[in-house]
Amino acid sequence: MRESAATQTCGQEPPQDAASGNAAGRGPARHGPADPSEFDAFKLELSLSRHEIYRELYLQNKDLVRIKKEHVAVKNLARIIDSTLRLANSKGFHAMSLRDLCADSGMSVGGLYAYIKNKDDLIHLIQSHGFILTRRTLLAHTEGIESPRAKLYAAVSSHIYLSELMLAWFSFSFMEAKSLSRKEKQEAIAAELEIENIIFGIIEQGIAAGAFKPVDARLLSSATKALMQDWYLKRRKYRNQNVHVTQYAAFVRDVLESCLLPKS
């Protein structure tokens, strides 16, 4: 969705941002105000929580991972997933062999087979890791926020910031979707719907509280998910426009608020 189309769909100009006085879509600051330190803080917090995410991945896949020492398994799962995403980005997942993965990760073939038996197992681990990470991130950043307006921005910005930091995984998940098994496809669809439902729930909450105008919450949450996806699927386009990730998050916020906030 292009910027002009997104704002026109909502039927009114986006509101002024209280912090800056600039309206998204006008003049040089068309993407809205941005605070790069907000992204820096998010990045630091994510780096501190990654161990727990890999630990949860290990606990959910103990039937697959044949390593009993948790600290060893967690460390090596991180190596395997990081190497896989790096190789998939450079040469393509289907062109990558398990021997390539061993060479990149520094693990022996026997050591690797203690975690996966084949590339289907590898896809499962990578998809599970991304789903856990996305779910935990959105829930952690929206928990305890009472204001629907602030909660909606927290959900949107955390997803966009996460996709910036985990671009390799988001790109991999989208590109490999057509090659997934039926079970993995169903899980991927369910995970995407879960994220959309978080947005939907916040919008419904805001409408019920009178903070948002009555709108088609399901349609708007679906459109919001598409806007968030555009950041990582069309990354080159926004890089060429010199758009910072915080600018894009602010732009999506302003589009949503132009649809949701009552006219003053």
| Domain span at 179 | 39-260
Spatial CA neighbour of 42 closest among 176, 210, 181, 163: 163
Q: Tens of pLDDT along 218-241? A: 999 999 999 999 999 998 999 999
Residue 244 lies in a domain: yes
How many structural domains is the chain composed of? 1
Is residue 158 pLDDT above 60, yes or no? yes
Return the pLDDT at 200: 97
Q: Cβ atoms within 10 A of the Cβ of 202, count?
A: 26
Is residue 101 pLDDT above 90, yes or no? yes
Residue 50 lies in a domain: yes
Q: What is the CATH number of the domain that holds 209?
A: 1.10.357.10
Residue 13 lies in a domain: no
Return the pLDDT at 77: 93
8 A C-beta contact, residue 253 and residue 157: yes
Return the pLDDT at 34: 65
- As a whole number of angstroms, the distance between CA 203 and CA 212 comes to 7
Q: What is the mean pLDDT of residues 162-183?
A: 81
Is residue 124 pLDDT above 90, yes or no? no
Give the residue ranges of DSSP H helices in 107-244. 109-112, 119-142, 148-165, 167-175, 182-209, 217-233, 235-240
Q: Tens of pLDDT along 41-74? A: 998 888 767 788 888 889 989 889 999 899 999 9
Residue 94 lies in a domain: yes
- List Cβ neighbours of 22 (8 Å cut-off, separation of 6 or more): 16, 29, 32, 33
Q: Tens of pLDDT along 74-83? A: 999 999 999 9
Residue 131 lies in a domain: yes
Q: What is the mean pLDDT of residues 206-229?
A: 96
Q: Write out the DSSP string of 93-138.
A: TTT--HHHHHHHHT--HHHHTTT-SSHHHHHHHHHHHHHHHHHHHH
Residue 46 lies in a domain: yes
Residue 51 lies in a domain: yes
Residue 83 lies in a domain: yes
